[in-house]
Structure 1
């Protein structure tokens, strides 16, 4: 069984590099980003080795290490320290007094890290322990999915858990593979308080709907969070140890189908998480020289996937006229896809060329993951692959392309294209138009229908498949839709919004008067901020943003006024609003104020390195930004104090 290493590192880039390196060497890895989370993870399941950064948020690495050494579960846990701040021989010697043999200063080489890991791990291998029985998690999961299993899987081993299925789809898990349960997931993510979690566990009997009763989450939010929790926990299990399972089935009404997890996509992402993309082909060596084509299972599952361009290029060549070796030529980073194709039995092989045939009686319209314009090795024209499998009747009656030429967009997948279309379609629309209504023809049923449609379409499943600009667009879409729904579904807010839409111009009475009014409100808001009159500042800045919703500077100051208002200090919903508003401000305009405000929020949350990066961005845009300069000074002073205090603590 692969040895398990816990990486406690709050710098995501460093953690990702270390994790990829260790997994390539055959180790199983887990990641945490702060000291409290690290301590809790070790308390639930002790790893074979801890890779510890000293400057962790919430609990300093030295204090964490001292707590471990006083605990029965961590007094002899092998630890390697990595640090970019505490440099020098005296710190390394002090760490030795806490049982640390390897003290690596950033930047360190891959060879230095691997040498330290290999030196430490033999000491924690139990040579006389019997090998653990069981099978990898993905085999258990695929068995339930492929057979349409309804019932429960009781997992035994290092990770005990009960996973419930309906018609082959997971619907419930407790305890989780990473969190104790759904409530613990919400607690760790700041969505519920410790008191609310106690109620959920006790009087609530782990029923998630009590969180709606308590007013912690709206029902659509509850559904999204449950989906995100279940997806994340199952992905965690893909890289875990083998598990034994006891199955208990129960009868199910025929035809019942739940729309929950996208199982083929879950496996695809799970294989991305648990294997290096450039490792060896998982298929047997003997199939390399054989011709390959899609099996019947291919057509049942391929449209559930959102493949990248390299994977789509490989899939486009599976036309039966090429060998596996020819299809793989020049391909890189597709091992997770190959594992999926093998697990699901989606390919067939033969020693002679194969003819591609669709399953009988399946009126396939389109295959989403095929590059229909792909040319063959000789450049002689389009590949004769899946483009010929489009339903001919659909091709004649329903044109696949719109009559007007589509807008020029980057070459992105269908999901990214849809995100961009919706995002651009919302620009310049009022709240009624977002839900396809007119102000004078309001319908609450139509409001709910469109709201649920959009929040389902752009829920956690969508967020997890995107990155970069498109992920930011999804956040903006959800923020806009939620704000619009909350406004129109509240009678008083709707009245005020109607007044705003129908109000006549005041003041100058000239073109651009609304811009003038927004500027007046903005300047008033800044004065109130200086006077620390938070409620008045928030109101004035909200009015400015209502008039000019695309002004990044206005939005950034609004977020800061909400954050600074003590009235919102314990509200997870308002903290989320601050985050979304700042992100939207930076999406619209790279204003130095937004970076400075974001930096202070991170700094007060204990994330000094991230805060430092935000302050630096602000000063690149405006070298005179006093808030950013003050933040950098505070970080420098704090580090000097910590260096002095750390040395004292190591010898105390």
Structure 2
């Protein structure tokens, strides 16, 4: 029987094209032209897949999705969004929160649509077949938390058998990715085909025969076995749910041959298996409660290697703040939150509470707590948004937090009321008043601060919570704010606007408007770097370089934006271009940023000594350069780990 696809599209021409394309591929299709009709159609009998246009008459597509996800019939309905209005990665990420995995922007190719359809329908079939299965992390944590000793036999994975000693994985064959440990070494060029054949046959899969053959030294063998086991288990986090049969065997108490870093393995697995901001693990009611470390927190947290934002968040978990307060201004924490929930590392209460330090545990230090928990550490990242906001603007009443809030949090204020307040407040105001400025007292810092606060407050996450009149108001707010910002941040446009207002004083009120305009673009580019909007950063920094082609700092930051952009990550040509740009920047200006950027490129390439030299050059010019300090610290920590020795890491 053909699988049924419902096309919710109000444009007859587009809908007819989609229907013809899908029917040609053997699917049964049905059509609706507005949101209410679509909802009623699904209520009479859910299709296998919904192809949804967001801007539908009578009921907005986002509102339709929200209603579906709250209903029994639509909770798990596969949905592909096809939109020509809401463009960009931020909207796609926000739609993921409503269970949308494929977000197509019109015009899209027939190939892209068919690939998305096949992926969604095949995934649904796999989910139906795996109703009794559990995600891999569930099985792994169950064995770890119960100190299980024995073997876990997984179905549907070549019959993979994972062996545990006291809750720690010690052996896997066949693997989830590679056939076995020998195949892993062969694929990575560590052993030859003949040596792999011997390992499988005469060696009977005993890894020590590889030492006998002279393929690896014994310390190298242990290191490779750890890398193989870690890599295979992390990949399994991204796999489908599995059925498992546990077969225990007795083990002498206290025996521990070697250990994987299990908390770190889960943390890396959660990063691999989901986008950082899409899956909120805690129920919504805990975000208004006070949070503190549970006893399990102290047993596991020192095994983690957290980034600065995560360390700052962890440092706030002292029982005096609510979960929402700790998360304010943070993003990208969902893998860490999933780990904290899985391992039971947090405790919640309606009133302030104290941390649960395990009794009798002589805790020396916590590696993942910033010394300055307020975030004012000298090791802050190079491009900090707060560093770019003028002191005068910090005294203003903030419109929104300076960083985006987590995507799924209980609303502390009525969003609809907030939308109406801002919308009414913008009526009848000129562009200066939109940003709380007077025409004769222009401040680019204040302009930038208010612009990014407003666009973050009413970004895709807010849009996904609204529909109808409020959604239209948000679109008008963003259109007004964007037009005002583009006008006031451009020298020529601002002059013309001042003339329209009848002002005697036009322009930016500063000598050398072209120089100031390059500074405006440069500061905007640094803000986009901080927000990780690489394309926008590159565009703004390219504009700055076009205006001031002999400014080495501008050119260095442009090179950095190209290097950090994920779409350039696999291109040797782009890396070479970045290297040449940084050398050119240093020939123009000996700026510390260029040395620091070069250092990180070398460090990423495994050239630690060369990287150290570049970081040192940066610090000679600026002793507090955050990015260079961070690079040297990473090299130092890496060397300290190497000094401890492989055996100590394995057996301690």
| TM-score > 0.5, shorter chain as reference | no
TM-score, length basis structure 2: 0.41
TM-score, length basis structure 1: 0.41
